[in-house]
Structure 1
Amino acid sequence: MGEAVMFPLTFDHHESNSIIPDNMNGNDDSWFEEVIDDDLKWSFALNSVLHKVISEYQDIVLLDTKHFGKALVIDGKMQSAESDEFIYHECLIHPPLLSHPNPKAVFIMGGGEGSTAREALKHKSIEKVVMCDIDQEVVAFCREHLTANKEAFCNKKLDLVINDAKIELEERKEKFDIIVGDLADPVEGGPCYQLYTKSFYQEILKPKLNPNGIFVTQAGPAGVFTHQEVFSSIYNTIKQVFKYVVAYTAHVPSFADEWGWVMASDAPFCIEEGEIDKKIRETIKGELLYLDGASFCSLTVLNKMVSSTLKSETHVYTEDNARFIHGQGVGKKLNL
């Protein structure tokens, strides 16, 4: 498979692109490095590499890190870490479900690790969650190794589908109250950048929403130095399709950056602290670790630099004019 056997990680600061060693232990001076940009890397110490596989679509690695616990890495990019994944997943799922008057049906694009489904299933009104991930290897990998989500994978309300989300949405006759984009970041040669395009949102996704339906997507890095990579473009693209659009951000420590989400609907949102707290008490089973009414309202207040960029952004994400974050997917490595 050519370069695909070379994971875009390094475990020694003196060797670049080294293959992940099969045998590692806590005594090894081993590090994971994520290349954020050509002149910027983010690294942390490892106890071991728990598992690794190369699927048809992606490089997949599960690490046991000294600082963040188990960490899922896809195409060299941190996807989720045991210690703080609740920040990302609570921010992705609960704002749209709490903003909807009575959400019953959820469609998740991606979400193979199961955490997004786990959070959706906390809502008492939910009757069905369809989780559609293109990569069987990711789903099987996460079902076996991420024990925190075993209950979600076994829930009778979960309909797990292995398919391209674009094709699955096109072929399904039913509509949904909430559609979620829990997709990998758009990297060149990755499997999902077309699911960030205006044509997809307008022609395929939006028609599958019920009246008052809400779409939410993760939208990539949203820090002062990174928000113009894809975040501002995704926000502006969604604005071309939906009447009401809300962007919000939160710091995720294991991502080493502020992260962005975009929520959209043709019905107005009611984002009021007291109402959100009331709905959390009444509609969610168990406690949220990160979000409450005050914190969600605060997430929608963007700093001056980011908010100015969102207002002035003109780029619309299309198949022929896509933006990518730094890195390469398997398709690019194999020149597919």
Structure 2
Amino acid sequence: MDRDSPVWFEEILDADLKWSFALNSVLHKGNSFYQDIALLDTKHFGKVLVIDGKMQSAEKDEFVYHECLIHPALLCHSDPRTVFIMGGGEGSSAREALKHKSIERVVMCDIDQEVVDFCRTYLTVNEKAFSHQKLDLVIKDAKADLQERNEKFDIIVGDLTDPVEGGPCYQLYTKSFYEEILKLKLNERGIFVTQAGPAGIFTHKEVFTSIYNTIKQAFKYVMAYTAHVPSFADTWGWVMASDHPFLIGAEEMDKRIEQRIDGELLYLNGATFHSSATMNKTVSQSLLDETHVYTEENPRFIDGHGLGSRAIRD
């Protein structure tokens, strides 16, 4: 066995499918009360954050996920001032929201102190976001925190881990949560957006269509959109919703990007966003046909759990 051959990290995507990354090193591994955490230095994607064995973001392409999650909702809102992020412990969603000149306050509420501390220490790209005067970092269950707050927000973001059995956040995907808590904390013409899991031709029925259908039960205007994220080895999905029409044209979105955002976006523009809402025939039909609604008693969980880093020799 060649000692110089690479060590690999394996993530189980399905019962008969694995996604492997050649590693330079394991930078850090730890455990919190809620989750297992690892930061890996991969040969292809740079630093990779792994929680409960599943890829959360990669240094080389996390901008695709976070630009798609954050900017469409803020750009479609006429004058966003306040943002509440459920989850988002790595700080990247807060970083993107804080690029908007109109933003006065971003609340990032993550349940896991260890994950937040881990990311503050090791993900140096978000140092400025974590120390930004407009960021209010709260360590708490986002459901309880929203329910107890008297204030409302222009934008609420679900930057949550996927609904995994035994994980801390599947209740934040339920119809009762959307209707009885989240909607009550949105300002007039407020917009909600959430990550919604894998949305590829073979994976969209795991949770994407169900999250979309559940949000349709709670909001009048709902839009699903997708993008390919290379490090996820799949197309990824997001769902945006409001009780008021929110969609703007591609030219208007480009104009708002130019006027409102400090710095340059690397992925998103108006044309890209509008094209991202056009699904292939199979996924479009599945979104129309889906009947499952998330409840505490009847959730859907995403398949698979990573095996951690293990040596696989050529």
TM-score class, shorter: over 0.9
Identity across the alignment (%): 75
Select the residue among 42, 47, 68 that pairs with 1:70: 47
Whole-Å Cα distance in 1 between the matches of residues 157 and 297 of structure 2? 24
Higher RCO (CA 8 Å, separation ≥ 6 residues): 2
Structure 1 match to 2:131: 154
Q: 1:159 to 1:28 in 2, by over 3 A?
A: farther
Partners of 1:120 and 1:184 in 2: CA distance:
19
Give the letter aligned to residue 195 of structure 1.
L
Q: CA deviation at 1:143?
A: 0.1
- Cα RMSD after superposing both structures: 1.2
**Counterpart of 2:272?**
295
Matches within 5 A, 1:232-271: 232-271=209-248
Q: Which residue of 1 aligns with 2:194?
A: 217
Looking at structure 2, the residues matched to 45 and 146 of structure 1 have their Cα atoms a distance apart, in angstroms, of 20
Q: Paired residue for 2:119?
A: 142
Contact 1:247 1:261 (C-alpha < 8 Å) held by counterparts = yes
Q: Distance in 1 between matches of 2:5 and 2:67?
A: 34
Aligned amino acid, residue 196 of structure 1: Y
Secondary structure of 1:288's aligned partner: coil
Q: TM-score, normalised by structure 2?
A: 0.96
Matched, 1:129 2:136: no
Q: Deviations over 1:252-302 (max 9, x none)?
A: 000000000000001102331100000000000010000001111110111
Distance in 2, Cα, partners of 1:328 & 1:302: 28
Residue 201 of structure 1 deviates from its aligned partner by 0.5
Alpha-carbon offset, residue 328 of structure 1:
5.3
Match of 1:120 among 75, 78, 97: 97
What is the aligned partner in structure 2 of residue 195 from structure 1? 172
Gaps of 5+ in 1: 1-11, 13-25, 330-336
CA distance in 2, matches of 1:314, 1:293: 31
Question: 8 Å contact 1:189–1:328 — kept in the other structure?
Answer: no
Aligned residue number for residue 83 of structure 2: 106
Q: Say yes or no: does 1:38 pair with 2:15.
A: yes
- Cα displacement string for residues 172-218 of structure 1 (whole angstroms, at most 9, x for unaligned residues): 10000000000000110111000000000000100000000000000
Q: Following superposition, which runs of at least 4 residues in structure 1 exceed 3 angstroms of deviation?
A: none
- Counterpart of 1:277? 254
**How much has 1:27 moved relative to structure 2?**
4.1
Letter in 1 for 2:262: K
Unpaired segments of 5 or more residues in structure 2?
307-314
Residue 327 of structure 1 and its aligned partner are, at CA, apart by 2.9
Distance 2:163 2:248 in 1: 29
